[in-house]
Amino acid sequence: MAGADYGELVLHGLDAVIGGKLIPARVNSVLDILLSFDLSYTLHLPYELNLLHPETLSLYTDVFLSAIELAKMAGIKVIVFHAGISKRDDCDLFNAEIDRVRLLAKEAGDIMLAMENPVILTDKVFSAGLSAQNMTTFCQKVNITNVKLTFDVGHYFLRVGANTEALLSGLKLALPYIGHVHLHDNMGYPFPMKEYDYNHRIACGAADLHLPLGWGKIPIEEVLNDLSGFSGIINLEIEKRFSDQYENSLKFVRQKLCRYSP
């Protein structure tokens, strides 16, 4: 154990929701496992769950609602979901996603729904996660206390083309609406290389690598300086092949923030 206070669960790694429905026997097994660790948890929905995808919206809504029920049973207080992405760019899309999230937030009660900025390497799509301005506007328009942002530092660094000034200004703009942070490192090279596996991409330093802190080019110390007054959860999203570095990255964050934080 690296000494963290929180662990982030991925819904699609639990097999507790299948076909948008909870599987009671599997849910009970998951709950037993969670209770065996001295940790609190956040819950991440499937990465491709897209609330702007009309053909699968009903199914994705069922998955989201089942995740909320699972979170209630497990005492999880934060659910992370990626901002929707569409090839269309119009106000109706933005408003439709706002309406959907409002309804889900009411079902969630005191559970925070934290919209994350996904990896977006093109301007040829629409998404509330496309920029810090979009993200803050989304929260302002939803205007429900349990809807916040998950600011993924690594994703945003790629989005702004490794521009340190743009990363930090985006973080500062979004900060009043951020309830949760994903922190990891990368080289800032926005080459998706989707046809290649992680082994190829890591050798090239391409795209979203989830490296230990300090192994890439993200200005981690400056990011942490800007987060010095942040009281929410910081999850270190570091690739499992670097598990030997979990403790070092955790200690680094705690030292810089001068508080006991995950």
Neighbours of 18 (CB within 10 A): 11
The tens digit of pLDDT for each residue in 87-111 reads: 876 678 888 899 999 999 999 999 9
The tens digit of pLDDT for each residue in 158-180 reads: 999 999 999 999 999 999 999 99
DSSP state string for 100-129: HHHHHHHHHTTSEEEEE------SSSEETT
Helices (H) and strands (E) counted in the chain, each on its own, are: 9, 11
Residue 260 pLDDT more than 70? no
In one letter, which amino acid is 121? L
Rounded to whole angstroms, the Cα distance separating 83 from 90 reads 15
Query: What's the whole-number average pLDDT of the chain?
Result: 94
Residue 261 pLDDT more than 50? no
Q: What's the mean pLDDT in 30-49? A: 96
DSSP state string for 127-188: ETTSSHHHHHHHHHHH--TTEEEEEEHHHHHHHTTT-HHHHHHHHHHHGGGEEEEEE-B---
**The pLDDT value given to residue 1:** 54
What is the end-to-end Cα distance of the chain in Å, rounded? 13
Rg of the Cα trace of the chain? 18
240 class by beta-carbon count within 10 Å (0-12 exposed, 13-18 middle, 19+ buried): exposed
The tens digit of pLDDT for each residue in 57-84 reads: 999 999 999 999 999 999 999 999 999 9
**The pLDDT value given to residue 259:** 52
pTM for the whole structure: 0.95
**The pLDDT value given to residue 88:** 77
Tell me the domain boundaries of the chain: 6-250
For residue 86, give the nearest of 46, 59, 61, 118 by alpha carbon: 118
- As its CATH architecture, domain 6-250 has Alpha-Beta Barrel (3.20)
